[in-house]
Amino acid sequence: MANLKEIKRKISSVKGTQKTTRAMKLVSSAKLKRTEEVAKRSKVYAAKLTELLNEIARKMQQNNENGIDNVFFKENQNPKKVDVVYVTADKGLCGGFNFQTIKRTNKVLSEFKEAGTEVRLSGIGKKGIAYYKYNKIEMINEIDDLSSAPNYERAKEFISELVEDYISGKTDKIVLIHNGYVNMITQEINQQQLLPVDTSALELDAVSLSEMDIEPDDDDTLLDALVKKYVEYTMYYALLNSLAAEHSARMQAMDAATNNAKEMVGKLTVKYNKARQEAITTELIEIISGMESMK
């Protein structure tokens, strides 16, 4: 009989878990919708900003045979010091979401280390910070409450420090790693080079832009402002994208958990019924044998 009680207790506990996971799934899907909306609107801006930057860079490349003579575009072939920035979530319970980012970051870190490059790590998101603290890997900058509530001002503040170091020549490269949203069921790790701006993707044979006027006259003023904006916005967009991906990952994880709980309840119910049947049979046998012996 004790066994029966135990199983019953287990069933109700699993049912409780199921309720929680189902609620979490609902919350995530609601949040995902909101974040997706924000991300979608920002995407237009990010796309236009990139387009503008590309066009100016292209124009400068046309005018200058040795490539673009600007600190933001000069690719250092032997980078001595590199900034790696990762973005993880603040919360767990979202499947492999955080670990994927950490894994990729580790890979990048070891790649740079093998190449003999000094790496500075900085990150946003409680989970990543907890991981690197535990593994005693030093971070120069950490923010633990930004990835659940992306904010342009704070993203700007965070990345500006790194950009300053880049400009002053303390670092040669900034790499950003974050998990991105593809659709409701897929997330994808994004790794991009923030600075220097990657010009390899520019199409040079497009329309000739030599006629383009630039105000203020001096190219650098405009370009500097534009590149800074581009970097800041890319950082902010990475946060939004990562948050959307987090919610979709959590939705999936919680859906799977709810299904598992359902399966478990089914299995436990069968076990419970079997045990009950067994108990009844044993009791019957006892009674019958008792009656037999009375005869």
Partner 1 sequence: MKLMKLEIVTPNGVIFDDEIKQVTLPGSEGEFGVLADHATLVSLLDTGVIVIETSDSKEISVAVDSGYVKVEEEKTLCVVDGAVALSGDDSDLAEKIAEAKELLDKAQTSSTAIIAAKSKVDSISKNF
What is the binding site for partner 1 (CB under 8 A)? 41-42, 44-45, 48-49, 52, 55-56, 152, 209, 211-217, 221-222, 225-226, 233, 236
**Apex 147 CA angle, 143 and 152, nearest 5:** 85
Least distance between partner 1 and beta carbon 52 (Å): 6
Question: Residues 43-47: contacts with CB within 8 Å, 24+ apart?
Answer: 43/237, 45/233, 46/233, 46/234, 46/237
Q: Is 250 exposed, middle or buried (0-12, 13-18, 19+ CB in 10 A)?
A: buried
**Neighbouring C-beta atoms of residue 194, cutoff 10 Å:** 24
Which one, 52 or 167, has the nearer CB to partner 1?
52
Backbone angles phi, psi at 254, to 5 degrees: -70, -30
Which one, 20 or 61, has the nearer CB to partner 1?
61
Q: Are 109 and 148 in contact (CB under 8 A)?
A: no
Q: Are 247 and 32 in contact (CB under 8 A)?
A: yes
Least distance between partner 1 and beta carbon 124 (Å): 19
Which one, 11 or 239, has the nearer CB to partner 1?
239
Least distance between partner 1 and beta carbon 128 (Å): 25
Least distance between partner 1 and beta carbon 131 (Å): 31
Which one, 59 or 250, has the nearer CB to partner 1?
59
Least distance between partner 1 and beta carbon 207 (Å): 9
Which one, 211 or 292, has the nearer CB to partner 1?
211
Pairing between strand 173-183 and 186-195? Answer: antiparallel
- Measure the CA–CA gap between 186 and 188, rounded to whole angstroms: 7
